Structure 1
Amino acid sequence: IKINEVAEPFIRRKAMRHLEKGRVVIFGGGTGNPYFTTDSAAVLRAIEIEADVILKGTRVNGIYNADPEKDATATKFDHITFDDVLRKGLKVMDTTAFTLSQENKLPIIVFDMNTKGNLIKVVSGENIGTEVRL
């Protein structure tokens, strides 16, 4: 499906104008380029519009030292650095997206998208999930 059938395609100037007018800009899909995941597309667009943070909604409520779906003793991090994520070999998002976010000093908040009300909480600045920062 072509994006222009459901929404306008991304044009940075237009997105910035919407933001300046106080509108919310929602990005859907990828970049249309091979080898770019949706995570990479999200980080790329966030950098282009000078976003303050990446909100990564997923099926777990944060980043753990082990897979919480397989290991009942897994411990959740409330905050963790980019370097610690890499050092511990934790899976947050694809390497390209993660590195792009780190290089641009763009924090990531990983939260459970399936819990009702969590999107409102994270957008409102409530401390849920795990924040990855420098």
Structure 2
Amino acid sequence: MIKIRMINITNGKGIIEKYEKQYGNIENLKQVIKSDPENTLTNFDLEEWEHYILHPNEEVKDSKTIYRDYSSISMLEMELMTFIKHENPKSISELAKLIHKDITTIQKKISNLEKEGFIKLIDGRKNSKIPILNYDKIEIAI
């Protein structure tokens, strides 16, 4: 098995925006806590939200760790993530052209990367999907 740690670097404002999407506002979160005071996750969210109100520019590293088989990570997947990060392709077909690969091969790899959480696909023009790298940094421990 190989350990992959995906890191997203943001700041306090980014954390607050995440909580606003999740709860709407801090008062809604307080109501959630009032209805379920034993939920440690929501209590932690409130504590963190209140902290970042006071420290909006503090750098925050948010990470997710996954484990994969050695054989399931290909150089093509790594190349795709690199191109997505640096070239910002507007579609999967544009990405395939950038790396001179068949689109069907790229679509399969992109689908796998999305399932693993490395990338997300957002709607583009004319039913196209725009690949976006979810993380600022990816560490592979072997």
TM range (shorter): under 0.3
Q: Give the TM-score taking structure 1 as reference length.
A: 0.25
Larger Rg: 2
Between Structure 1 and Structure 2, which shows a larger proportion of strand residues?
A: 2
Between Structure 1 and Structure 2, which shows a larger proportion of helix residues?
A: 2
- Of structures 1 and 2, the one scoring higher in RCO (CA 8 A, sep 6+) is 2
Q: Give the TM-score taking structure 2 as reference length.
A: 0.24
